[in-house]
Amino acid sequence: MSAAPILGPDRRPASQRHDVYGPWAGLVDVKIRNVSGGVVRLEETAIISEFAIEVLDSAAAAASRTERGRRVEGAEAGKRSVVLSSTLVQLVPLQETTREVDLSNFFEIRPGQAYKVTFRRSRGIPKTDADGKPLKEAELSCSFDVPDYGILR
């Protein structure tokens, strides 16, 4: 699994824009690639609860959640969320699935601030290998840093 910040629309006046860097507004490109030698079946849903996401500011404090983020966090803590539909994706070796996630829907992301973002996923990840043997690590994780000056264009 990999995750990387991506640029969204730059709403600053043209006089404040830079050719090299743009402000990060919370958009993330998340990829899961099958690095095994066989077909992997991966369950995907249309909700963010597939991932455990941690967003820390430059002081290593958790970023504030939006109202929607607090509802999702509360539903996860109380296990009240229900998956209404899911898709089974079959990935052959080296095939990947990509999804764009807008973290600004769930966290208060302020362009011009530094963040460390960590994604974890265990939901829908196979718990056994092709031979039916239990896997030791049934969780994927990755993280990235966003400097206060933004991300490369």
pLDDT tens digits, one per residue of 38-76: 888 887 766 666 788 999 999 999 999 999 888 877 666
Residue 80: pLDDT over 60: no
| Residue ranges covered by each domain of the chain | 2-11+20-152
Mean of pLDDT values over 4-32: 82
| Whole-number Å distance between alpha carbons of 137 and 127 | 8
| Whole-number Å distance between alpha carbons of 142 and 122 | 12
Q: Which fold would CATH assign to domain 2-11+20-152?
A: Immunoglobulin-like (2.60.40)
